[in-house]
Chains A and B, each alone.
Chain A
Amino acid sequence: MTPPPAALIAELTHRCPLSCAYCSNPLELERTGAELATADWLRILEEAAALGVLHVHFTGGEPLARRDLATIVRRAASLGLYTNLITSGVRLDDRAMGELARAGLDHVQLSFQDADPEPADASGGLPGGHARKLAAAARVIAADIPLTLNFVVHRGNLDRLEAMLALGERLGAGRIEIAHVQYHGWALLNRDRLLPTRAQLEAATAAVREARARLAGRIVIDYVVPDYYAARPKACMGGWGRRALNVSPSGRVLPCHAAETLPGFDFPSARDATLGDIWTRSDAFARFRGVGWAPEPCRSCAHLEADLGGCRCQAFALTGDAVRADPVCALSPDHGIIEQAIARAEGNGPLTPRRFGRPAARR
C-alpha cells in the first residue's frame, strides 16, 4: 500500500501583486477564469484529510488574491489539518488578518525580498511593498500566530543576509527560512545573473552558523546549501509521490509545482478524480516513485536511497531528458552544465522581471 502524503500544497491562484525575477512558477501561468471554485477546494480539503494529509500549505501566486481564502482555511482547520499561509503579505490588512485568525489559521510564512526597503521594492516590483510586509508581520504577531520569515536569496541580496536575520529577530519571527532561488520556471531565465558566487555562499553559510548558535532555542533558522553548489542533489519534494501532492490553481494534481514542465505526462485533475485515487492509482504519481525508474549512474549508486536521483524537473530543464541523473550531482555525466553556470555567475546583465498577462515565449 502507498503510504499517505503528509502535505498538500494548495496553489490557490497564480495571480500575484509582485513580479520577482526569481519566480519559480511556470512560464505560462494559469488564468483567473480557469481557477477552481470555492466548492472544489472545500471538497479537495476533505479528500486530503481522508487521505491522511497533515499540513496544508496555501500558496500561489498570492493566496490573498482570492476572496474566499478565509472560507477555505476555515474548512481545513475544521478538518484538523495544520494550516499554513504562504504569502507576500502586501494584502494582509487588518480585516484579512482578523478573518484568517478567526478561521483557525495555524501559521504564516511571510516572504521578504530583502532586508532594506529600496532593494526589496526593486526586486518585488511593487513600490511600498516592503513597508506593507513589515505591517503584515506586526499583524501576525498581534494575532498570536506563529510567524516564519522567508527570504529568497540570490547574488543581488545574499551579502545582506545578516541584516535579514536581524530583521527576523526584530519582527518576532519564531523561524527564519533562507531559501536559495530554485532555478525553475521564470527563475531559470535569469539564472546566470541570480546565481551567487562561491565566496558569497561561504560567507552566508558562516553567517547562518553564527546566528544559529546565537539564537538557539529562540529562533529556528532553516537554510539549505543551494543545489548548484552541493555535491549531491536533493530528494526533491522528499521524493516523487512520497510526501506531498500539489494542486494547481486549475485543479491539476502534481507531484511538485514544476512537474507540468515535463513532457509525456497527462496529469490528472481534481475535478475528475479524488486525491486518494490520484495518489494511489495514477500513472503520473507512480512514474518516478521510489527508485525503480532510476538510470545509471544512480541505479548502482550508494546515495540513491538518500537522494532518489534528485529533481526530475531540473534533469529535464538542463538536459532535455527527465530520466537522467540530476546534473547538480557531481557524479552525473552532465555535471559540466552546472560547472559552466557557476563559471558564468560573475556576469552582470539586467534581470528580467516576471511579466503577467502574456506568455513569455511570445515576448
Chain B
Amino acid sequence: MNGYRRRSRIIIIHANAALVSNSGCRNHVLRETNAAQCHSLPESIYANGGHGYAMSNPSKTEGTEAQLHSLETRMLCAFIHEATQFNPHGHPGAQLADLARRIFQVEAAAIFDADLHEVYRSGEWFDDVKEVLQNICLFGTATDDRETGLIRRVLQMGKLPIGAMLLRGETSVIVANSIASIIAITFDRYHAFANESRTENARQAEQLRTTVLDSLAHAYKTPLTVIEAASSGLAAMGGLTPTQAGLVSLVDEQAKQLSQLTSRLLTTARLEASDLIPKIEAVAIAPLIDDVMASLREQLSGFSVRVVLPNDDVALCCDRSLLVALLTQYLDNAGKYADFGTTIMIQVVEESNAIVFSVRSIGSTIPAGDYERIFDRYYRSSASASIAAGTGVGLSIAKRAAQAHGGNVWVASDAKEGTTFYASLPRLPRGLPAHE
C-alpha cells in the first residue's frame, strides 16, 4: 500500500452503470469495501455479513440470476478496489493479470501493453501468446470462444487501442468488457504517473546542471582573471618578437572568450534558477538603452545604431537587470550577424498594455523553420553556425527574461526587411503588485 488512496469516480460510475442496475445492491458495495475486507478476496466479499448482502453461497451454478449479477458486481468491485491500490510507479501489468485470475477464477490471464510492447501473464499460456495479443490489439478482435474458453478483448482509451487482454476461463461478456476497461484505465494511470515523474526528473536534472554550471563559472573566474592579467602583462612589458607577441595575443584573446562564455553561463544559470522573481521597479527606457549601447561599444563599432523611441520619458515597471540582459543579447546578436557598415535599429513601441522592444539588423537571415527554436538553449540555427562564434545560450536568456515578466519574444526575418527580434513586456507584469 503506498498511500495512493484516491478512488476514481469514473471507475465507480462505469462499473455501476454496467452491472449494478439489476443487482439490488444499489447502496453500495464500493463505499463499503475497504482494504481489510478485500484482503483475502474473493472469499471475503462472499462472507461480507455486516452490510446486508445476503449471498451466503458463492457457487456460480446454484445462484439465481440476481445472485450471479451481485457476485459479478462484487468481483468487479474488488478488482477495481485492488487495482486502485497498486503502486502507481510500478507497471501494473503482472499484478493485474494475477488479480484477474484470482478474483474471476479464470485459469489464466494475459495482458499486453502496446506502448511498452510487453506481455504480462498469469497461469499457463501457450508460447505465442504475445503474438496473439498483438493481433487482438492490432485487428480489434474482441470475441469469446466457448470451445477453447478464450476471451479476447482490446484495451482501449477512448477509441485508441492501448493493449489487449486474453482470459482463459468463464466470465460473462459484460464482466470481460469491464475487466478490460479497468485494466485500460489502470494502464493509463501508470503511464500518466510515469510521464509526470519523467518530467520531474528532467526538471531536477536541469536544476542540478544549473547549480553545477553556476559553481563552475564562479570557480573559473579567478583563474581567468589571472591568465588575462598575466598575458596582457607580458604584452605590456614589451620586448617580444612578433611570433611571441602573436602567441601572447592568442592566449589573451582565448582567455577573453572563455571569460565571456563564463559570464554568459552565469547569467543563464541565474535566470534558470527556479526561484527567479523579477525585481520590479520603474525603469526609464531611454537611459537604459544608452547604457546597453555604451556597454556594447566595441561590438557595435562597425555599425550605425538608430534608436527610435515614442518619447523621451517612456518608462516601464520591470526588472532592470533582466531588461538589460534581454536588450544586450539582442544587440550583441545584431552585432554578430549584421553586415558590416549597416544600420542597426532599436525601436520601442508603446501598446495599450505592453511595450514592444525590437532590434532590427540587415545581414544573415534566419530560416522560418528556426523562428521558434532559435530561442531554445543550445540551439544554433544552421545558418548561423558558420558565421559567428557562439554558444546558443544568448537568445534563451532573452526569452527567459521576457517570460519572467509574463512577456514573450519572437523574430521575423527575410532578406529584404532584415532580421528583427521582438520582445513584448506587459506594462504591469501579471500577478505582480504595482507598488513593488
Same complex for A and B? Answer no
A positions within 8 Å CB-CB of B = none
